[in-house]
Each structure stands twice: as C-alpha cells, then as structure tokens.
C-alpha cells in the first residue's frame, strides 16, 4: 500500500497524540481514551484529531475539556516527537461513532429478543 506524505504524517500524529494524552497528569483525564483518526489539511497547517471517550456524559465533557485545555502542551510535545518543518495547529473533535455502533447493536439485540418471544 502506498501512503501519501499527508497520510503518513496523520498516522504519526495519531500515534504520538495518543501517547501524549495517556501520559497527561491531569486528574480529570481518566478512563478509556482513544485517538480514532487524524485529518490533516493538504498544506499540513491544521490537524483535526478525533477522540473517542468511554465514560458517562458529564465525565466525558470534563475529560474532553481537559484535553482541549492541554492543546498547547500537546502541540509542543508533538513538536518534540515528530520532525516536520511546521507542526500543524490542532483541534479536537469528539468521535461518537463507537458509541453509535454500540447503541445500534443494543437496538438490534432488543429487536432480536422481541422476535424470539
């Protein structure tokens, strides 16, 4: 498989940001946190980082805000870990796709159980 330079950099950012988030010492950041994907612009100036949090809604908001507040620190750490000319500005977005899939599975199970009766 031949990856473009942007795809390789996105993958490198994903791997490193995941490690940086897991190493953060903020007590609000706990539970299962996963960097699901990174989208970089063609000029590599911006990176949208999708994260998935497995926790209840209020705790999720607190964790997301803590990660967002650490954005500057995360970007500086990223600059120390990967060698590219310009480290992109980063923004975080919540990835709800895993939870959405879990919800769909629950609904399908309910339907299957009702049909079996």
Domain positions in the chain: 5-115
Residue 1 has pLDDT above 50, yes or no: no
**Model pLDDT, residue 112:** 87
CATH number of 5-115: 3.30.300.20
Predicted structure pTM score: 0.81
Buried b (16+ CB within 10 A) or exposed e, 36-46: eebebeeebee
pLDDT at 93: 95
What pLDDT digit, counting tens, does each position of 56-103 carry?
A: 878 888 999 999 999 999 999 999 999 888 899 999 999 887 778 888
User: What's the Cα-to-Cα distance from 58 to each of 28, 31, 53, 55, 104, rounded to whole Å?
Assistant: 11, 13, 11, 8, 22
């Amino acid at each position: 498989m031949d990856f473009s330079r942007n795809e390789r950099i996105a993958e490198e950012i994903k791997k490193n940001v995941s490690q940086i988030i897991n190493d953060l010492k903020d007590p609000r950041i706990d539970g299962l946190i996963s960097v699901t994907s990174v989208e970089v612009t063609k000029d590599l100036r911006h990176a949208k980082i999708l994260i998935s949090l497995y926790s209840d809604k209020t705790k999720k908001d607190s964790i997301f805000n803590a990660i967002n507040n650490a954005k500057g620190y995360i970007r500086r750490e990223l600059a120390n870990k990967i060698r590219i000319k310009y480290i992109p500005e980063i923004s975080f977005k919540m990835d709800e796709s895993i939870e959405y899939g879990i919800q769909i599975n629950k609904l399908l199970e309910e339907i299957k159980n009702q049909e079996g009766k």
